[in-house]
Structure 1
Amino acid sequence: MSAGEASGDRHAAAVARAIRAQRPATRLFGIGGREMEAAGVVRIAGLDELSVMGGLEVLRRLPFLLSLERRIRRLFRVEDIRLFLPTDYPGLNLRLARAARRQGRRVLYFIAPQVWAWREGRAGRLARDCDRVLTVLPFEAELLRKYGADVEFVGHPLLDTARSHPGPRLSAGKRLIGLFPGSRAQEVRLMLPAFAEAARRLARRHADLEFQVARPSHLPEALYAEAGFPTADAGEIMARGTAAITKSGTITLELALAGVPMVVGYRTTAIEWAIGRRLVRVPSIVLVNLVAGSQVVPEMLQDRLSPRRLASALEPLLDEAAPARQDMLRGFAEMRDRLGEPGCAARVAAHAMELIG
């Protein structure tokens, strides 16, 4: 099993537990985080070693990544691995899928790379190197089938863990606003300063607001010191949050399923942005908007990401009865209906057992 980010670690851990429930004697090895390890996966590398963002950072870490690939290829042989089960994280996982296939191993790709957004050519690699591809967004399967992939939509794993929190979210009479700058160190460095300044602007106008920054366990507390706000687990913040400022990615689905209105900001390096804007083929980078098929959540990207814009977009969402907030919550409900049914991990485990035989 291989997951390179915090969300992938969580989803892969759920699959690991489901596999153990269906076949307790299964031996699991993997690349991932503490959740996979707690689920019984013997870790080969951790998330802190894989926390890279963008081509330039990948180049700096290339010697380690190549060494890790060699270790995994040896593991396929030494441990007689029957199935390779990558979760998302396509840069490394697609190469490992190719290596596994060349060695005659079965490959089950869970949470397919977002080929519908950019680098559509990866769809051909998925069809070539995977026995089966499992998608978690409803619109992904059709494109992959065009390239000849054996693909199935298994529903989104967040449906198994999503918690709704109706009503006012007050802590000691204050409304909590969550800041979610990402699970990679570079994301935090690039986005947290703008998120934190937006929070300070809002605090000056609303004395009843408090702020917390979501920090994944594999990133050090020192990375967040300059923001000037306390950190907490993302789930804890979502459980009490009135609203959120967040980066794009899976976290937007989590917030939407928890019923937390949000604005999205995203920034990367100038070089990565110049390359990405020529490759991305979708009208929005926010998964909530893509699944819903409409602009439910406002987004500020790259040069448009500013504290003033973030604060101005979030302010109308703070009042529980505000029309903008209610419209967004209705959009969240429509999006949820399109994500399938709960039970994703058990379905993935069933596919794994089928391929192992």
Structure 2
Amino acid sequence: MSAGESSGDRHGAAVAREILRKLPGARLFGIGGREMEAAGVSRLAGLDELSVMGGTEVLRRLPGFLRLERRIRRLFTTEDVRLFLPIDYPGLNLRLARAARRQGRGVLYYIAPQVWAWREGRARKLRRDCDRVLTVLPFEAALLERYGVRTEFVGHPLLDETRAPRSGAAARAAAGRRPSGARRVVGLFPGSRAQEVRCMLPVFAEAARRLARRHRDLDFIIARPPHLPEALYAEAGFPTTGAREATERSWAALTKSGTITLELALAGVPMVVGYRMSRVEWAIGRRLVRVPSIVLVNLVAEAPVVPELLQDRLTAARAAEAIEGLLAEEAPARRDMLRGFDVVRERLGEPGCAARVARHAIQLLAEPDSEDPPGAAC
């Protein structure tokens, strides 16, 4: 199993638990974080070794990446690996999938690379190197099938972690977050990679200070993934907590793009999305990206539910102003956004994603072209 980010670690842990529940003899090992390790995956490398953002950071750490990749490739030759289960993180995982395929190993790709956003050539690699590709966004399967990829939409793993009822879930979740007269919490979600935090957090923190001067009843918390050091957040001047707790406590949020936007939407937390990268990377990205929004909430809803402040538009003043429009319980922008979140919730499928992924894994382990019974490593 191979996950390169915090969300992949969490989703991979859920799958690992389901595999071991249904197939107690399986041996799981690979790349992941603390949650996968706690779920029974023997770690060969941790998320801190993979936590990078942007081309310059990748180049600086390239020798370490290459050593790790060579180590994993050798395992496909020396160990009785029956199945490789990559989880998102396509930069590394697509190359490992190719190596696994060349060694005759099964490949089950979970959380498909976002070929609909850019680099559609990855779809051809998925067709060539994967037995099956499991998607978590409703529109991905049809796109991949056009490229001949054997694929299935398995629902989104976040639904397994959400207890809110289906109808009006977002609105009720948000309404129950702040008792009358209580202080409101604004969550800051600057990312799970160190370079993302260095880039986004200064702007997010300054926006929070501007809001604090105008609204004395606001508190602020920063979501910090466990693999990043507390010292990285010291200059911001606000307390940190885990992403789950920050989501549960937040009345509104200022966040980077990514899966966290879906987590906030399912929890009923109105948000503003901000993102910034180097000017070179931004110039390249603008030429490659082929979708109208970088926010998953907007893509799933097929509507501009959440405002996005990108690159030069991400300033503390604009972010504070946008968040301010979401603070009042009856604010039109807040109510419209919560209605949009309910649309997103309906389109993400049904709970049970991890169990469905485990079922696919066990089916591949049991396919008749293999001489050994299920129970080997994945």
- Which category of TM-score, normalised to the shorter sequence, fits these structures? over 0.9
Q: Contact 1:175/1:208 (CA < 8 Å) preserved in 2?
A: yes
For residue 225 of structure 1, what is the amino acid of its counterpart?
A
- 1:15 match: 15
Question: How far apart, CA to CA, are the structure 1 residues paired with 2:143 and 2:331?
Answer: 39
Counterpart selection for 1:193 from 202, 216, 238: 202
Question: How far apart, CA to CA, are the structure 1 residues paired with 2:217 and 2:177?
Answer: 12
- 2:170 match: none
Q: Secondary structure at the match of 2:40?
A: coil
Matched, 1:235 2:236: no
Matched, 1:211 2:220: yes
Higher relative contact order (CA closer than 8 Å, sequence separation 6+)? 2
Q: Contact 2:20/2:26 (CA < 8 Å) preserved in 1?
A: yes
Deviation at 1:167, TM superposition (A): 2.1
- Percent identity, please: 76
Q: Secondary structure at the match of 2:244?
A: helix
Deviation at 1:325, TM superposition (A): 0.7
Question: How far apart, CA to CA, are the structure 2 residues paired with 1:305 and 1:136?
Answer: 29
Deviation at 1:169, TM superposition (A): 2.9
Question: How far apart, CA to CA, are the structure 2 residues paired with 1:92 and 1:237?
Answer: 30
- 1:167 match: 175
Deviation at 1:142, TM superposition (A): 1.4
Counterpart selection for 2:334 from 300, 304, 325: 325
Give the TM-score of the pair, scaled to structure 2: 0.93
- 2:120 match: 120
For residue 185 of structure 2, what is the amino acid of its counterpart?
L
Give 1:229-308 correspondences, 5 Å limit.
229-308=238-317
Gaps of 5+ in 1: none
- 1:44 match: 44
Q: Secondary structure at the match of 2:75?
A: helix
Q: Secondary structure at the match of 1:177?
A: strand
Question: How far apart, CA to CA, are the structure 2 residues paired with 1:331 and 1:175?
Answer: 22
Q: Contact 2:123/2:147 (CA < 8 Å) preserved in 1?
A: yes
Residues 88-129 of structure 1: per-residue CA shift (max 9 Å, x gap): 000000000000000000000000000000001100000000
Give the TM-score of the pair, scaled to structure 1: 0.98
- 2:350 match: 341
Question: How far apart, CA to CA, are the structure 2 residues paired with 1:139 and 1:61?
Answer: 34
Counterpart selection for 2:188 from 179, 189, 192: 179
Equivalenced residues, count: 357
Deviation at 1:134, TM superposition (A): 0.3
Question: How far apart, CA to CA, are the structure 2 residues paired with 1:35 and 1:68?
Answer: 20
Gaps of 5+ in 2: 165-172, 367-378
Question: How far apart, CA to CA, are the structure 2 residues paired with 1:168 and 1:28?
Answer: 40
Q: Contact 2:76/2:99 (CA < 8 Å) preserved in 1?
A: no
Q: CA RMSD in A?
A: 1.0
- 1:5 match: 5
Deviation at 1:82, TM superposition (A): 0.1
Q: Contact 1:85/1:107 (CA < 8 Å) preserved in 2?
A: yes
Matched, 1:104 2:112: no
Q: Secondary structure at the match of 1:133?
A: strand
Q: Contact 1:168/1:242 (CA < 8 Å) preserved in 2?
A: no
Question: How far apart, CA to CA, are the structure 1 residues paired with 2:89 and 2:31?
Answer: 11
Please say which of residues 62-71 and 81-90 is displaced more in the overlay: 62-71
For residue 241 of structure 2, what is the amino acid of its counterpart?
A
**CA, structure 1 residues 305+10, in 2 after alignment: closer, same or farther (shift >3 Å)?**
same
